[in-house]
Amino acid sequence: MINKCLFPAAGYGTRFLPATKAMPKEMLPIVNKPLIQYGVEEAMEAGCTGMAIVTGRGKRAIEDHFDISYELEHQINGTHKEQQLEGIRALMQNCSFSYTRQHEMKGLGHAIYTAQTLIGNEPFCVLLADDLCINRGGRGVLAQMVELYAKYQCCIVAIEEVALEEVHKYGVILGQEMAKGVYQVQNMVEKPKLEEAPSNLAVIGRYILTPDIFEVLKHTPPGKNNEIQITDALLQQAQDKLVLAYKFEGKRYDCGSVEGFIQATNDFYQLQR
């Protein structure tokens, strides 16, 4: 249904300094697997095989991670340690990886626009790897969204309820509930003050976008924090056509923050024991 998943991974990751000074935050491991690998696994489960990654300066480790390391392979060949590479080998066999660079960090909307050449004229998923999602015993969040896309064929954002004191960190929607957990977006505000928030339904790092979003992004002026915001482009889209917000099943960890990262680490460690 949807073949490509885009991973905007060019941000500076300032909340995780100094760890992210020379290393992309997408390579931070939860237990022994980097965040971006969890993301690629979720995209694969949703049926995507083309992984398009927007990188920036100092992000080469991501490309190396999804490549063969001949010395390492040679070193552990025939030992029990080979098992630890089985997961990543399977990803590399089943997916293709393409990269483009965002030269200036002009915001998430700009990062997505930068990837137009990798995506082309087809609907695509967007996954922000620092939002780590699990749905224990059920389908992943992107797989749930692809199923919804099959029905409506429109842009979809994943949302969750957050505490009102937290709304200033997110894009926040106002929506009309059309079916259980599925809202038609009527308004969307990027990082609103508490008194300006239209609800406490916050957009998290999972999107399905139709390719006409590129034309909208091309004309979207810088918004909040002087960055080109995908929220503004989607609001524009919602004024012309259907845009959905979907309250997903599962749990999200904000691994771009130290607190969320520690929580995810503890929970994933317990799960693996």
Closest contact distance (angstroms) between CB of 119 and ligand UTP is: 14
Give the pair of three-digit tokens for residue 215. 């034309």
Residue 109 contacts ligand UTP per CB under 6 A: no
Exactly one of 36, 128, 145, 208 binds ligand UTP (CB under 6 A); which one? 128
**Residue 171 lies near ligand UTP (rule: CB under 6 A):** no
Using CB positions, name the residue nearest to ligand UTP: 11
Say whether residue 111 binds ligand UTP (CB under 6 A).
yes
Integer Cα distance of 187 and 182 in angstroms? 15
Are β-strands 29-30 and 33-34 bridged in parallel, bridged antiparallel, or unpaired? antiparallel
Closer CB to ligand UTP, 40 or 128, in the complex:
128
Mention every residue, 6+ apart, whose C-beta is less than 8 A from residue 100. Answer: 52, 53, 54, 55, 114, 115, 117, 118
In the region spanning residues 205 to 264, those forming contacts with ligand UTP, defined by CB under 6 A, are: 256
When binding is defined by CB under 6 A, the residue of 5, 10, 119, 157 that contacts ligand UTP is: 10
Pairing of strands 96-101, 50-55: parallel
DSSP assigned state of 26? G
Residue among 8, 34, 123, 223 that touches ligand UTP (CB under 6 A): 8
String marking each residue 87-106 x if it binds ligand UTP according to CB under 6 A: ---------------x--xx
Q: Does the footprint of ligand UTP cover residue 12 (CB under 6 A)?
A: yes
Between 109 and 140, CB nearer to ligand UTP: 109
14 is a contact residue toward ligand UTP (CB under 6 A): yes
Distance CA 209, CA 124 (A): 6
How many angstroms separate the CA atoms of 7 and 26, rounded? Answer: 10
Q: Give the one residue of 35, 62, 108, 243 binding ligand UTP; rule: CB under 6 A.
A: 108
Record the tokens describing residue 57, joined without a space.
């300066």
Q: If binding is defined by CB under 6 A, does position 130 make contact with ligand UTP?
A: yes
CB atoms within 10 A of CB 143: 18
Sequence-distant (6+) residues with CB within 8 A of 231 are 109, 171, 188, 189, 190, 203, 223, 224
CB of 216 to ligand UTP, least distance (A): 17
Cis-peptide into 18, omega within 30 deg: yes
- Smallest distance, ligand UTP to C-beta of residue 102, A: 5
Using CB under 6 A, list all residues that contact ligand UTP: 8-16, 54, 102, 105-108, 110-111, 128, 130, 256
